[in-house]
Structure 1
């Protein structure tokens, strides 16, 4: 499944190198000086405040330029624009109105960092919080209506925000994001192709057919060396073979941390098995082939050695406190209904599993957030990207399980690069020199900069 922060069931949306390379804006609020190429900061603020539904919450200085924290009123259902509304959080780092603007979508909560693309082309940056995450969730009954947590609705959110802010930032606009953020930027481009001048998506999974996980299965049969794969599988299996000995430690740690499982996975046994199933995925998502040297001999390792190594290399616990409406739950809702998930077979674990149905996103959702899957949306996006997408770039990591099912770009000025040996932190900076030069030249051409 994936990620849960940076583990598995959720796809990790904040991996360094792909998107968030800088820190959050400083808290001190002071106006930035005027810059050549654009109006002074007070004039920009006035323009922002004239946008219907836009509120400037605060302004701070970031590297000598104004950094605006914003809220924007959005329809809960864009098919009924005059119905219930909610406020979506966003930020604008403004440098100059004639510079390009990067629309950075983290795919989860509001990201405070600087996207690599922003640094590359010295752009303005708009960051947006995904609907139903953190403070961008409707209040009251509308906030509990998860039918409005869809790819199409979020794309419509970003469409309205982009069109509104284009009145302020008038240069080229490029969308970007990593992992779920890259997926979100791709969905925006598919449903509103007139908004952005280009899209650069990092490690964005494309689960075009949720019934076919052969790409993921093939990845785990071929990644790294046979020795490393065998060692990881043996550790994973031994964690379940020794379940009776290790479960008390798992339960004691959960109790000490205040973690419960009643509302989601249900029992500590199910939660333990789920964490074990995620281990190998997480090992490759965040680690490298160099980490293979640390894999213990599963048969010879003591219980403490086995458990301790696993906790440092992929054993990540899913619990009620971070899986509901205010945590990563909204992601799993999307995975369960539209984005899909890797339903791995785990043939080497068949005889030591207790819960063959547990490895799917509804398992980690409260009952009120669970949903039924439909494949039409992601299949449509996949077809559109392959046949009609224009000025789109996808960057993947060779050893990243999320990159096992990739978007295939069209021939319309669109490209795909794979970083050798890279995990979920794949970036343009890690590409071989020739590929890196081509990718940078393409992006700068799209952005209209030297």
Structure 2
């Protein structure tokens, strides 16, 4: 899953893919991109008419031809029990035109409040709805009960979003997300396979192998070069040998920032967790060319601490950040599973046998029990029944050591050689890039007859709220 980093904690790979280089990858058909954006002054009114939706604000900064809204949508705490109350789920909307495709952007975490288009939204010239995952950011009930934080409940949230906004955007819908957001997009399709016309999932893990000889352990024995792997193991050993000096620096930082380690239990345990995650974090965010930066035995303690901080993001294990990601670790420990990391080369240097277990990051008074059937169910669906799925992965990314392996019904896994956790369609080879863009076009065109049918029904029935005009106001 996407790592915690200092500058970008858990932002989706898809959310960072808005780059000029993809604009020319493929041209949509004339009916999809040739449009006149007439001025529409009723966009806000139309949004306000949608039941259960609150327009929080319209924000500046959107690209020309777009308007950017921050929204709140009432969602059931428990979709199986309407009496259990509601919470407001944070959404964002980048609106361009009602007759354009719409991209449903799943973050897996909090939703970014900047008007940034995902790669599929750029390629399709479409609208974009960003969905904050339940129990992250501001999308939390007043008294959160984490037992309602399940992949099915989140999928039902996404389903209700699609149902509501299809009234405004009747054309093609494509879902997307990176890392945990990509996983959420797949889970949404598992439980509501017909909500969207296709899905692009970036760097999405498929955690079904929890054996000691796991796919993750095998990955770490072959990733990169032997020299880079050995350098990381050596660095880990020297960090643990210098534990007291590194710990003193870590505790001094916590004291200076008024931070604590009550959730994990101690700065010492947090330090050990960070050191154990070094290979995972390195390969997720860097490449084999960066191996020259791995500190050697003669590196000063200050430089060793600085490299560890940069690589494993030490602040995220302290309470001020860790408390916001309790739901993340809860999901890993109850349904989604987590990775294994090599520890044999650190014999005699470790103090906490359960250090990187999800339980370490969740308060002890919160019950956790692994639903061992959840991920195999998703895997079986992807292998046997899914269609119109595109997975984009990097060959050097440990998160996809266990990749999804879909069936052959208009589904593909495309790989970026040497790519890490931040790959995009633009990073693919020319042939694979063309295949990905062609799939997006095909899925969008597939929905066009259905869009025309819905528009005809709308005119004859008069039952739906008015649609947004072809324009952005």
RMSD of the alignment, in Å?
Answer: 2.3
Q: Deviations over 1:307-350 (max 9, x none)?
A: 233223335340111122xx122111111111110132411112
Find the counterpart in structure 2 of residue 309 from structure 1: 307
TM-score normalised by L of structure 2? 0.85
Q: Distance in 2 between matches of 1:68 and 1:212?
A: 47
- Give the C-alpha shift of residue 91 in structure 1: 1.6
Question: Which stretch has the larger CA shift, 364-373 or 388-397?
Answer: 364-373
Question: SS in structure 2 opposite 1:19?
Answer: helix
Q: After TM superposition, list the pairs within 5 Å mapping 1:370-385 onto structure 2.
A: 371-385=368-382
- Give the C-alpha shift of residue 2 in structure 1: 7.0
Q: After TM superposition, list the pairs within 5 Å mapping 1:130-169 onto structure 2.
A: 130-139=133-142, 141=143, 143=144, 145-169=145-169
Q: After TM superposition, list the pairs within 5 Å mapping 1:14-413 onto structure 2.
A: 14-15=12-13, 18-22=14-18, 36=35, 41-60=40-59, 62=62, 63-111=64-112, 112=114, 113-139=116-142, 141=143, 143=144, 145-211=145-211, 214-262=214-262, 264-298=263-297, 300-314=298-312, 316-317=314-315, 318-324=317-323, 327-369=324-366, 371-413=368-410
Q: Deviations over 1:202-238 (max 9, x none)?
A: 0000002334662111111011111111011000111
Q: Distance in 2 between matches of 1:233 and 1:296?
A: 11
Q: Which ranges of structure 2 fall in alignment gaps of 5 or more residues?
A: 20-33, 449-473
Give the direction of change, closer, same or farther, for the CA distance of 1:58–1:311 in structure 2 (3 Å limit).
closer
Find the counterpart in structure 2 of residue 26 from structure 1: none
Give the direction of change, closer, same or farther, for the CA distance of 1:38–1:209 in structure 2 (3 Å limit).
farther
Q: Distance in 2 between matches of 1:66 and 1:224?
A: 43
- Give the C-alpha shift of residue 360 in structure 1: 0.8
Question: SS in structure 2 opposite 1:396?
Answer: strand
- Contact 1:332–1:364 (8 Å) recurs in 2: yes
Q: Distance in 1 between matches of 2:44 and 2:3?
A: 38
Q: Deviations over 1:132-151 (max 9, x none)?
A: 11211011x3x2x1100111
- Contact 2:6–2:310 (8 Å) recurs in 1: no
Give the direction of change, closer, same or farther, for the CA distance of 1:134–1:309 in structure 2 (3 Å limit).
closer
- Give the C-alpha shift of residue 36 in structure 1: 4.6
Q: Which ranges of structure 1 fall in alignment gaps of 5 or more residues?
A: 24-34
TM-score normalised by L of structure 1? 0.90
Give the direction of change, closer, same or farther, for the CA distance of 1:213–1:443 in structure 2 (3 Å limit).
farther
- Contact 1:41–1:66 (8 Å) recurs in 2: no
Question: Which stretch has the larger CA shift, 75-84 or 190-199?
Answer: 75-84
- Contact 1:209–1:375 (8 Å) recurs in 2: no
Question: SS in structure 2 opposite 1:153?
Answer: helix
Total equivalences in the alignment: 428
Q: Deviations over 1:233-259 (max 9, x none)?
A: 000111111212322122112211222
Q: Distance in 2 between matches of 1:38 and 1:209?
A: 50
Give the direction of change, closer, same or farther, for the CA distance of 1:307–1:67 in structure 2 (3 Å limit).
closer
- Contact 2:283–2:396 (8 Å) recurs in 1: yes
Give the direction of change, closer, same or farther, for the CA distance of 1:447–1:217 in structure 2 (3 Å limit).
same
Give the direction of change, closer, same or farther, for the CA distance of 1:6–1:426 in structure 2 (3 Å limit).
farther
- Give the C-alpha shift of residue 56 in structure 1: 1.8
- Contact 2:187–2:378 (8 Å) recurs in 1: yes
- Give the C-alpha shift of residue 122 in structure 1: 0.5
Give the direction of change, closer, same or farther, for the CA distance of 1:209–1:374 in structure 2 (3 Å limit).
farther
- Contact 1:394–1:415 (8 Å) recurs in 2: yes
